[in-house]
Structure 1
Amino acid sequence: VHFWASWCEASKQMDEVFAHLAVDFPHALFLRVEAEEQPEISEAYGVTAVPYFVFCKEGKPVDTLEGANPASLANKVAKLAGPANVAQSAAPASLGVAAGPAVLEKVQEMARQNGSSAAESTLKKRLEQLVNSHPVILFMKGNPEEPRCGFSRRVVDILKQEGVEFGSFDILTDNEVREGLKKFSNWPTFPQLYCKGNKEAKLRSQ
């Protein structure tokens, strides 16, 4: 039984895995309960968060799973219902053995998406650290001593004339930062000037 909520993104992802498992294990019964719409049922099974799965045998709960873990879900289903392919054993209950082709494909897709999300999260943290590394920091082409575009040279000259102390980062030396900043600041060109980490205080070259 999958206890889920329509507003929960993790529930939606796991519901897709749940649906694929229903295809891979046609002899098992797969049920869905919208947790907040059926509070009495949710309370009876101790559901406090979604996604939440209850595994039953002969009408009695024998196992549970909380959270978005497609591999654990597939293995628990296989352990209870037997392997998707009867010619294979469910032990050891690795994902490749426990799940059939439908859920394997879905899990691999989710893994790719999660990997991409993790990389984006890591880059975002790095960019946040960079923009906060100096009270004023200029992301430019080249460096203050040798600017490599007219716009960058102009900004450096203004900052020096005004006596502003600033740090700098040469975006030509790091393509990941260069491309990431375009999304981070929602502006496609350089230089970009940040004051006290404030994304709104950036120079937008025309």
Structure 2
Amino acid sequence: MPLSHLKSEEEVDSFLKDCKQLTLLYLFAPWAAECQQITEVFQTLAEDCENRSVNAEEVQDFCKKNEVSSVPVVLFFKDGESVARVQGAKAADLTKTVASLRDKHDDQESLNARLKALINKAPIMLFMKGTPEEARCGFSRRMLEILHKHNVKFDSFNVLSDETVREGLKIYSDWPTYPQLYANGELIGGVDIVTQLAESNELLSALGLQ
């Protein structure tokens, strides 16, 4: 399959902005013999990833911003941010880097699937430090008090028992602290928001219980 080619600074910026998954950008120059050597390798390796090629001479501002001073070079992006690069006609390095980053990408997708399953394990799910029988922080204890007071039936997960879940869920839900309360797969919030909902008599409604 021929490479898809970008032709301007604007096209490069738009492409990278829209790509959330692992993305490869191959910068070349038509006159460079090394580029001819690496093009076929890149084309094969990049089949399973979002990828584009671009003539470096057509995007000089982009090259300056990303410290590209010679070609060929393959830049690796994730969520619009540069995560790696392979400079020169180094087929072995390119192969290793693609494989490594693809494995990390697959691991993240696997973690996201696990987090989604945990969040949907019960209609009301509480991710807390400790257990309902033994809360390990004041905020988790306060959350339990509120839920018990309102007779809310829930399941829980002790984030102290699994660092991968503890750190991964912060990113997955874009919420940096614990406890976290979910209803029907949706994040309700932490203890401050739940306290406010309880004080305004809106908690049961927010949880879909009323």
Q: Structure 2 length as normaliser, TM-score? A: 0.56
List gaps (5 residues or longer) in structure 2: 7-14, 50-87, 194-210
Measured in 2, the distance between the counterparts of 1:15 and 1:101 equals 11
Q: Kindly state the Cα deviation for residue 157 of structure 1 after the two structures are TM-superposed.
A: 1.1
Native 8 Å contact 2:119 2:185 kept in 1: yes
Residue type of the alignment partner of 2:143: V
Unaligned runs of 5+ in 1: 32-50, 54-64, 71-99
Residues 1-16 of structure 1 aligned to structure 2 (within 5 Å): 2-6=2-6, 7=15, 13=24, 15=26
- Where does residue 144 of structure 1 map in the other structure? 132
- What does the per-residue CA deviation read over 1:131-175, in whole Å, with 9 as the maximum and x for residues that have no partner? 111111100011101111111111111111101000000000000
Q: Does 1:203 align with 2:165?
A: no
Selected match of 1:68 from 33, 47, 51: 47
Amino acid at match of 1:109: T
Aligned mates of 2:24, 2:92 — CA distance in 1: 14
Separation in structure 2 between the aligned mates of residue 69 and residue 141 of structure 1, nearest angstrom:
39
Q: 1:205 to 1:182 in 2, by over 3 A?
A: farther
Match of 1:108 among 88, 91, 96: 96
1:6-155 mapped onto 2 (5 Å cutoff): 6=6, 7=15, 13=24, 15=26, 23=34, 68=47, 102-155=90-143
The answer to whether the 8 Å contact 1:139/1:170 transfers is yes
Kindly, what percent of the aligned residue pairs are identical?
34
Computing the radius of gyration from Cα coordinates, the structure with the larger value is 1
Distance 1:5 1:103 in 2: 21
Q: Distance in 2 between matches of 1:110 and 1:2?
A: 19
Deviation (angstroms), 1:180: 0.3
**Secondary structure, counterpart of 2:157 in structure 1:** strand
Contact 2:140 2:179 survives alignment (8 Å): yes
Residues matched between the structures, number? 142
Match of 1:183 in 2: 171
Counterpart code for 1:118: D
